[in-house]
Each structure stands twice: as structure tokens, then as C-alpha cells.
Amino acid sequence: MEQLTDNYETFISFVVPQITNLERMKRVHQFMMLFATILLAGTTVFGAGSGKTSRIRIIPQPEKVIPQNGEFQIKGSTVFFIQNQQLKNIAGFLNKKLTSAAGFSLKTVANKPTGNYIALELDPTIRNKEGYQLNVSAENIIIKGSTAHGVFYGIQTLLQLLPAQIESPVRAKVSQWTVPCVEVVDSPRFAWRGMLLDVCRHFYSVDFVKKQLDVMAMYKMNVFHWHLTEDQGWRIEIKKYPQLTAKGAYRVEGDGKVYGGYYTQDQIREIVKYAKDRYIDILPEVEMPGHALAALTAYPQYSCTGGPFKVRNIWGVEPDIYCAGKEETFKFIDDVLSEVVPLFPFKYIHIGGDEAPKDRWKTCPDCQKRIKDNGLKDEAELQSYFVKRVEKILEAKGRKIVGWDEILEGGIAPSATIMSWRGEAGGIEAANQGHDVIMTPGDWVYLCYFQGDSKVEPVEIGGYTTLGKSYSYDPIPKDISATMQHHILGSQANVWSEYMYTPKIAEYMTYPRLIALAEVNWTRKENKDFNRFLTGMENQYKRLDLHKINYAIPMPEGPGNSVAFTDTVSLSFHTTRPIKMFYTLNGSEPNATSAIYTKPLHFDKTTTLKIRSILATGEMSGVRTIKVVKEVLTPAVEKETTSGVNMRLTTGTYLKVADLAKAQKWETSVVSVMSSDKFNYMTPSAATFEGYVDIPEDGVYFFNSDVDQVWIAGKLIVNNDGQVKRYSRNDGSIALAKGKHAFKSIYLNNIIGGWPSSWNEIKVNYRKSSQSNFEEIPASAFSH
Ligand code: ACM
Ligand code: ZN
């Protein structure tokens, strides 16, 4: 499996979160790893044996699995017996896999056969409409569901019992397609098992969407929440308002390139059909009243101020939203929804409702008149008025609304279903008021959160949600009364794509956490077991490989990529879940035959350490290259200096440090602190700060910063050049004698990858090697 390639590594920067938290998390991890390793060792031995459970690793874990002796073999002569014509397509689904992977497909017979056959049946005594029973004996396979949907899930389970190569798109080298004998009785814990994909911050192709739908179906997920409109792009063709896509689908990025795209109505119909064939409903989201700048760029008359606007090219929340005072706004929304509704047969439409700043409404005469005329208390009630009007529009078209938990503020619309994203409180409140709820609290289900140490992971929005944390989620909150629990329809993984610059990064963030959340939604609470899940995932990685899914493999965590030392140094590594790490000390790429990491590594000379994790399936993580450098203390500079550093300032857009060579005019001054206050992304610029930094005592010092470069004693120590300058992971280190050392930092005030560097602080932090926390270098340490 290919991990992040060099090509877009240049795009990516990494985070240094608060070390105190990180250190605490690490300690907990180390303990849990030890514990989990012991447990895992037990299950692995059991799972790898030739016993009857060895091949039965179904994810999500079914309600009941009773292994039997023997196996069934699917051969070219095996036949389908389909009791109900509704089930023909499902037989077709299995036949398609067999045709690709096995090179044969099964014929359907009219009369119940005697020998080797697969029967698909509807059985009204199965209570859950998505439930199924699967019986595999040496003679036949019988799959029963109360509906076709249940039978489809029986087929998904059958596929997981077959060799992983059944997912191969080309003829696989498998001599026998056998299925272990087993009895499975299964049904989902929750009816709503969703995944949101934000195609606005970054746009993904029709094929990419279909690929995710394929994987969702494998893990019995049934709602694809398609986030189609945003400040940063409008992605759905609306024939009556062509400018929505002509203008609203494209933005000019910080580097001047045009970015965008949209789905035509034909493409949407194609995807809806593709999803339906996999028993997945599509929930379209058309955001209002906020997150609407792309629409307002195309049609500024539906804003409070009248514009003009530009499609937003930075992340964050836009203050310009739809005007709630103008009647024409509601006409526009009605028209848009009139085209959206026929495309999506699902009974729900998501209308957004989150993060709508009220600044414009407060000063808009139309909005204020609306408040007055309708006896509304404030702008929160105006949002409630807005949502209730849209609820009526959609009701008239036969659809129900779903909205983010902000739509509780100012009074919830009577029939609304709530998605609780700012924690669980909104969901609990809505359920207690008798509304249906989908739980999507950030800490567990936001797949835009880091899944490991931000220093070694692609840059992300923030947060920290390991696979184990996602897996631990229970969609039924603790403080909800038993009588209201039925309002929790389920939960959903949300893939917000600000930092998912490529389809590969999007998959890296999504998998395998999505599969943990599939189990959260499907599996009975008492059947959940993280270690069994991890072992079971070994049956899944190969399948994901065959689908070319770029899932994440935990990286070795611990030191940064540059470690200076003067005498000896010891480096220790860990991972977010049990996985073996392999390393080399001679510059070669580690593989499964390299040295295995078991204890801290000691160094007494300059070495290039390369280390990576390798799954039991043989799949490898990316490689970390760590320069471990033996140094002598760099002598201090003997020089009379005065406080402050020299700042040189130039205006213009500079994306790389080398671009500064083109700067025409520099202004020079002396500043006492390096502050981002004077910088604004609207006026791109660059600055260098030069002077001396006073080092308090002899030792090895680590530095980090979100600026582009930091030079100490003439050496480049921190280099974020060309990257998204958010949460720098690029700590550097150097051995320094007590006293003054030449200092230079370079700051480019630009927008890269949607992140304006003027949102950063431009300070430089350091720590002595013996300390774990970075601190800002105090202004008093600088001179020139
Ligand atoms: C959201 O994450 N703003 C729903
Ligand atoms: Zn207004």
C-alpha cells in the first residue's frame, strides 16, 4: 500500500500540540499497549490456528456467530436458488464479484436444488428490516432477510467469510473459494449508520465517491451525507441558477490557482443509483443560512449587504450569510430545493444551520424589519424563523429536515432531526424534547481530527481521535432517559476536508476509523471488544488494499526528525495501538526483515535512523527518517548588543523562502517582539527578523515555530518552507554554549492550503533537551 508520497508531503505540515497533554497521552498509551499486546498475543494464536473460528472475522461483529465444522465451496457448478425476484439484484452483486475475482458466475435455477447451492430468501419472521440469518453448511448456504436489504447484508457477511481476494477487481490466484461452516444471526444496533463527506473544501470525483460507497456497503453502513454547499464552493448543478456553479464552484487559492468543480445532475443521479444498489441512502446537505458565500458570490442579492463577494479561499467561518429579511431569499431557496428534492429519494434533506454569525443580520434593515414584524426576540429567533420557513418548504415537497445542533437555538423547528456535533448536549436536549437525533460529536467521529501525534501525521484541523477512541464511542449518551433513547437514530463519521488536499489524504484520514464507527453503529454494545476488532481488521486490510484504499497505519511516535546530542542519547518510540516497528541504522529502508524495535535505542555517534510500523498483514506505514547528530557545543558570540531584533519588511506574495530574492523594496526597523499583529492576509507580505538569541546555559536545545524558517548560529534549524504552516512538526535541535548566538527567522505572510499564516503567532519556541515542554523564547533574550 502506498502511503503519503513525497509529492504532497511538501504540502503538508505537522502539529506540535501541548506537550503536557501529549506526554500524558503517551504514558497512558504505553501502559495500554503493554496490556493490549498481551491480550492480542492470545487472540492471534487462537485466530491464526486451523480451528473453526480462524477464518470467521466479520466486521462489524454480528449479533450471534456460531461456528460449525466443515466448509462450503463455491464452484462454477454452484447455483443460486432465489425464492423472490426482488433478490435477483443481490445475487447479481455476488456474481459480479465472482466474475471478476474467480472467473466464473453462478446460474440461477427455478426449482430447489439438492446439492451445492446458495439460497436467498425473504423471511417475514425476521424482525429487523436490515436483519438477516446466514447458514453455511457443507451442502448449501442459506441467506434469509425480512427484506432485500437484510439479504444484502447477509451477502456482505458471506463475502467476508470468503478469501479476501474475492474483492479483487481482476482474476485472483485462489484455488478454492471456500466458506467456513457457520450460523450467523444478525441485525444492526442503530438504523442510521452514516458517513459525511465534505466535497466543498476539497472536491472529489464521481469515482472517488463510488469507491467510498463500495467500502461503506462492505461494513453495512447505510447513509452517505453529502455536504454539497459551502463558503468555499457550491458543488451541485442547479439549472435555474447557473451562476451557482459557473461562479460558485470555483475559488482562487492563495497561490493564485483556480480550484473547484461540481457534480452535474446526471452525475448525481448516477451516484444516487449506485448508492441505492448498495442499500445506501444519500442525505444531501444544502447549507443555510450560513456557510453560503459561494452561493452569495453568484447571487449577492440574497445577502444582507448586496456584496460583491468572492468564493472564500481560506478556512473558518464567513460572516456574510443569506439575508433572512428579504422575501426573494426564500424564493431562491425554494427554487433550489425544487431541483434538489427530485434528485434525492431519501426522506431527509440536511439544511445545515451551523455556524451562522449574526453580525450582518444585526445591521440589516430587512432583517431587523423581519424581527419586528414577526415579534421575534432577537437574531437567534430570526434563525429559528428562517429554519421553520425552510422546514415548511420541504414539508410541501414531502421531505423532513435535518440540521446541526445550532438550530435548537431560538426554538427548534417542530419536525427537525438534529445532528449533534458540538458534543452530545444538543443531541440530549433535542431527544428530551422528542426529536430524533444523529450523534456526531467531534471528539469521537470527526475524522478531520489527528489520529496520532500531530508531529508525524498530515496537518489537520486539530483534535486527537485515535482508532481506539473512535471505537469506544457509544451513541447513546449516559445522561439520556431510557424513555428517550429511541430518538437516537445512530451516529455518523464526519469527513471534513479542509486539509484533505488529495483523495489519498482523505482516505488516510477516513480509514480505518470509519470501520471502527461502522462497528459502533452496528454491533451490540456487549459484543464490542477493541482487541477482537483489531484482530478482525487483519481480515479487512487486504480487502481495502484490493479497493486501493489508502488507510492509515500508525506511525512510530516519539522524537522529532532532528535530534542533536553531545555525549549519548536514547530514543524511545511508541504507536497509538499495538503494532510492530522495524528500523535500520544504515540509511536503508526498513522492512519486515529489519531489526524489530523492542526497547529504547541508544546512540553515541551520528546516525540516520529509519523506522516504520508494519501490520501483521505485511502492510507498511510511511518511513520516518530521523537524523541523530553528535555535536560539540557551538561557541557563543562575544559581542556588545542592544535589545530588540532587526526586522526587514516587504510587501507582495511570497510562497517560498527563495521567492524573497524577487523582493524589490525592504523597510528596516528594530522591534522588541516578533508579533503577527501587524500582518493581515489581505495584504500579503514577508518579514525577516535578525539578531542574537541569548542561551541561558550549555546544552542541546530544540526549537519549533510556525514561521517559515528559523536559523540559529547560521544553521537552518526549523524549516516549514512551502508547507501549510500550521502546527509545525519540524522541531530542530542544536548543541549551544551559554551566551549569544546568531538568530534569524523568516516569516511569509501568505495563504497556503487555505491557511493564512497571519492567523499564526510568529514567535519561536525552545526547550532544553532535558525539558519536555517548549516555551516561547522571551523578548529579553533577543538583541541586535
Ligand atoms: C460542523 O462541524 N460545523 C457541523
Ligand atoms: Zn438581511
> Does the beta carbon of 698 sit less than 6 angstroms from any atom of ligand 1?
no
Split at pLDDT 50, 70, 90, the class of 673 is confident
Do residues 175 and 66 lie in contact, with contact meaning Cβ atoms separated by under 8 Å?
Answer: no
Asked if 522 and 189 touch (Cβ cutoff 8 Å), the reply is yes
What span, in angstroms and rounded, lies between the C-alpha atoms of 91 and 106? 9
404 lines ligand 1 (CB under 6 A): yes
Give Cβ neighbours of residue 92 (< 8 Å, ≥ 6 apart). Answer: none
Q: What are the residues whose beta carbons fall under 8 Å from the beta carbon of 478, sequence distance 6 or more?
A: none
In DSSP notation, 663-682 reads: ----EEEEESS--STT-BTT
pLDDT confidence band for 120 (50 / 70 / 90): very high
d(CA 278, CA 281): 9
Q: Tell me the C-alpha distance between 364 and 320, whole Å.
A: 11
Q: Whose CA is nearest to atom 3 of ligand 1?
A: 354
Name which of 137, 185, 116, 190 is nearest 157 in CA terms.
185
Instruction: Kindly state if the Cβ of 776 falls inside 6 Å of ligand 1.
Output: no
In the predicted structure, residue 21 carries a pLDDT above the cut 90 = no
Tell me the residues surrounding ligand 2 (ion) with CB < 5 Å.
304, 323, 325, 364, 366-367
Q: Are 453 and 577 in contact (CB under 8 A)?
A: no
- Rounded to whole angstroms, the Cα distance separating 468 from 450 reads 13
Q: How many CB atoms lie within 10 A of CB 73?
A: 12
Tell how far the Cα of 759 is from the centroid of ligand 2, in angstroms: 29
Nearest to 181 by CA among 150, 142, 132, 149: 142
Mean pLDDT of 597-608: 98
Please name the residue whose Cα sits nearest to atom 2 of ligand 1. Answer: 421
For the CA of 494, the nearest atom of ligand 1: 2
User: Which grid cell is 439?
Assistant: 450523534
Confidence of residue 676 (pLDDT cuts 50, 70, 90): confident
Residue 272 dihedral angles phi and psi, to the nearest 5°: -60, -40
pLDDT at 55: 78
Q: Mind listing the pLDDT tens digit for each residue in 632-665?
A: 999 999 999 999 999 999 999 999 999 999 999 9
- Which ligand has the shortest distance to the CA of 362? 2
Q: Which numbered ligand comes closest to the C-alpha of 326? A: 2
Strand partners of residue 183:
66, 135
How far, in Å, from the CA of 723 to the mean position of ligand 2? Answer: 39
CB atoms within 10 A of CB 662: 9
Pick the atom of ligand 1 nearest to 442's CA: 2
Ligand nearest to the CA of 447: 1
354, 418, 446: residue to mutate for ligand 1 pocket, most atoms within 8 A of CB: 354
CB of 443 sitting under 6 A from ligand 1: no
Q: What percent of the chain has pLDDT over 70?
A: 93
CA 202 to ligand 2 centroid distance, Å: 29
Ligand nearest the Cα atom of residue 322: 2
How far is ligand 1, taken at its centre, from the CA of residue 199, in Å? 14
Task: Work out the average pLDDT over 232-261.
Answer: 98
Predicted pLDDT of residue 45? 28
Task: Pick the range with the lowest mean pLDDT from 17-21, 190-194, 422-426, 643-647.
Answer: 17-21
In the predicted structure, residue 728 carries a pLDDT above the cut 70:
yes
Q: Is the CB of 422 under 6 A from ligand 1?
A: no
Say if residues 668 and 721 touch (Cβ distance below 8 Å). no
Tell me the pLDDT tens digit for each residue of 683-710.
999 999 999 999 999 999 999 999 999 9
Q: pLDDT tens digit string along 390-422?
A: 999 999 999 999 999 999 999 999 999 999 999
Cα 688 to the center of its chain, rounded Å: 35
Distance (Å, rounded) from C-alpha 679 to C-alpha 110?
76
- Per DSSP (E only), the strands in 488-591 are 488-495, 562-565, 569-571, 580-584
